[in-house]
Amino acid sequence: MKLRLRARCLINFAALVTIFGGSLIGPDAYAQPPGDWIDAHFHLVADKDDLESFDEAARMALESMDAAGIRTIAIMSPPRPKENFDIESIAGVVKKYGPRIVMLGGGGTLNPMLQEAARSSVVSEEVRRRFAETAQRIIASGAKGFGEIAAHHVSLTPSHGYESVPADHPLLLLLADIAAQHDVPIDLHFDPVSEDVEKPATLSSPKNPPVLKENIKGLERLLAHNRKTRIVWAHAGVDPVGFFTPKLAREMLGRHPNLWFSVRPTGPTPGAMVPPKGPINEAWIAVLRDFPDRFVIGSDNFVVPARYTGPDAPRIFAQRAEVQRRGILRLLSHLPPDLARRIGYENAERLYRLNR
Ligand SMILES: [Zn+2]
């Protein structure tokens, strides 16, 4: 086993926000107004079943959507290690504020079942049955797909979990088949690791293991398992480990016609699609141009209402929203108008079937 220490100087998101605030990208970046757009990966986080707080979060989100020209957001629970809120807490705001807010389901129910199942070597029939029933209920409740589901999720702060499950775990293959049956996508958090590697020094959270294991082959098996399943690989553009490169994205898109990416363009890590300072990464732009139908925008922004009492990670992440939104507007302005339209909203409308 070859181990390589990646000791690059990365700064975590929270530190970036603290150090630089929201003034990283000047208005000179906007060559042309991008028009409105769809944010396909968005988190409202409140305490489970505190419906009033979810409503407050939705109103806060709508205000910022109006300011930033966002037509629709797809909200979902982050991929939780233990059971947490899911569609039952957010269906109300979707009903009330739809079609501007749509939901994906499973981050607070299916994902904990998956992480739990990954700790034992066999998946019992009972677990499979419960998992499938939950998945069916999510779609019956009006979710546009499954998410956020994690196959590999590194921890960015001590209150942010580490999760690792083979992407071809039997429950993910089962979920792929259920998604295909309903013609809905799976939003997948997958921090890629191309070869076994020692944990980068920058991933200092004690929840991360000392060695990160190769995981791409499992994802390829998941994608090949059912070609009718649309997998949306989240967070293209920013890479906390060092392997989520334009080259990898290009290769995977070439091999897997059922793969899409949602773009979170701005972050402090080297090679970001839209760096906080300096020029846009043209290697990423070339992939967007070559696969114009396979990308959507997914800011990964968090909105957290005043009364939330859980761990502090969502509040830390909520601080980066403004920087990320500016990065998205800068990206859309940088693209040729037809490509900006596709990535800005047309692809998302088709992928999530937002018009029906
Ligand atoms: Zn994620």
Q: What is the pLDDT of residues 31-56, one digit of tens each?
A: 444 569 999 999 999 999 999 999 99
Taking a C-beta distance cutoff of 8 angstroms, is the pair 91, 141 a contact? yes
Q: What is the pLDDT of residue 159?
A: 82
Distance 42 CA to ligand 1 centre (A): 9
Distance 147 CA to ligand 1 centre (A): 9
Place of tokens 């939330």: 308
Distance 78 CA to ligand 1 centre (A): 7
Does pLDDT of 81 surpass 80?
yes
Distance 138 CA to ligand 1 centre (A): 19
3 state SS of 298: coil
Distance 81 CA to ligand 1 centre (A): 13
The mean pLDDT value for 75-99 works out to 95
Distance 37 CA to ligand 1 centre (A): 20
Distance 110 CA to ligand 1 centre (A): 15
The amino acid that residue 41 corresponds to is H
Q: Does a cis peptide bond (omega within 30 degrees of 0) precede residue 251?
A: no
Tell which phi-psi region holds residue 261, choosing left (phi > 0), alpha (psi between -120 and 50) or beta: beta
Distance 118 CA to ligand 1 centre (A): 19
Range of lowest pLDDT (155-164, 285-294, 328-337): 155-164
For residue 232, give Cα distances in angstroms to 24, 104, 167, 219. 29, 12, 13, 12
The mean pLDDT value for 166-193 works out to 98
Does pLDDT of 219 surpass 60?
yes
Distance 148 CA to ligand 1 centre (A): 7
φ/ψ of residue 108, rounded to 5: -100, 0
Distance 190 CA to ligand 1 centre (A): 8
For residue 349, name the pLDDT band (cuts at 50, 70, 90). very high
The mean pLDDT value for 335-351 works out to 96
Give the N- to C-terminal CA distance of the chain in Å, as an integer. Answer: 50
Instruction: For CA atoms 305, 311, 312, 317, give the dihedral sign.
Output: negative
Give the model confidence (pLDDT) of 303-316 as tens digits. Answer: 999 999 988 889 98
CA 341 to chain CA centroid, Å, is: 20
Q: What is the pLDDT of residue 34?
A: 56
Give the model confidence (pLDDT) of 118-127 as tens digits. Answer: 998 899 999 9
Distance 79 CA to ligand 1 centre (A): 7
Instruction: For CA atoms 6, 222, 119, 189, give the dihedral sign.
Output: positive
Distance 202 CA to ligand 1 centre (A): 18
Strands 146-153 and 163-164: antiparallel
Distance 131 CA to ligand 1 centre (A): 21
Distance 221 CA to ligand 1 centre (A): 21
Does pLDDT of 138 surpass 50?
yes
Distance 311 CA to ligand 1 centre (A): 16
Give the model confidence (pLDDT) of 315-337 as tens digits. Answer: 988 888 899 999 999 999 999 99
Distance 185 CA to ligand 1 centre (A): 15
Q: Does a cis peptide bond (omega within 30 degrees of 0) precede residue 99?
A: yes
Q: What is the pLDDT of residue 199?
A: 93
Distance 59 CA to ligand 1 centre (A): 23
Please tell me the distance from the alpha carbon of residue 215 to that of residue 166, in angstroms, as a whole number: 7
Distance 189 CA to ligand 1 centre (A): 5
Q: What is the pLDDT of residue 156?
A: 87
Distance 130 CA to ligand 1 centre (A): 24
3 state SS of 296: strand
Read off the tokens for 44: 């409202």
DSSP 153-220: E--SSTTS--EE--TT-HHHHHHHHHHHHHT--EEEEE---SS-EEPPTT---TTS-SEEPP-HHHHH
Please tell me the distance from the alpha carbon of residue 78 to that of residue 347, in angstroms, as a whole number: 22
Tell which phi-psi region holds residue 142, choosing left (phi > 0), alpha (psi between -120 and 50) or beta: left
Read off the tokens for 162: 């580490």
Mean pLDDT in the chain? 90
DSSP 257-290: TTEEEEE----SSTT-SS-SSS---HHHHHHHHH
Query: What is the value of pTM for the model shown?
Result: 0.90
Distance 191 CA to ligand 1 centre (A): 9
Q: What DSSP character marks residue 342? A: I
Does pLDDT of 218 surpass 60?
yes
Distance 314 CA to ligand 1 centre (A): 12
Q: Is 7 exposed, middle or buried (0-12, 13-18, 19+ CB in 10 A)?
A: exposed
Q: Looking at the chain, how many residues does it have? A: 356
Distance 233 CA to ligand 1 centre (A): 9
Distance 82 CA to ligand 1 centre (A): 15
Distance 330 CA to ligand 1 centre (A): 22
For residue 40, give Cα distances in angstroms to 20, 103, 105, 247. 26, 9, 13, 23
Q: Among 23, 36, 311, which residue's Cα sits nearest to residue 159?
A: 311
Distance 334 CA to ligand 1 centre (A): 25
Give the model confidence (pLDDT) of 233-267 as tens digits. Answer: 999 999 889 999 999 999 999 999 999 999 999 99
Place of tokens 């990308």: 295
For residue 14, name the pLDDT band (cuts at 50, 70, 90). very low
Distance 224 CA to ligand 1 centre (A): 22
Please tell me the distance from the alpha carbon of residue 193 to that of residue 164, in angstroms, as a whole number: 11
The mean pLDDT value for 4-14 works out to 35
Read off the tokens for 108: 């607070």
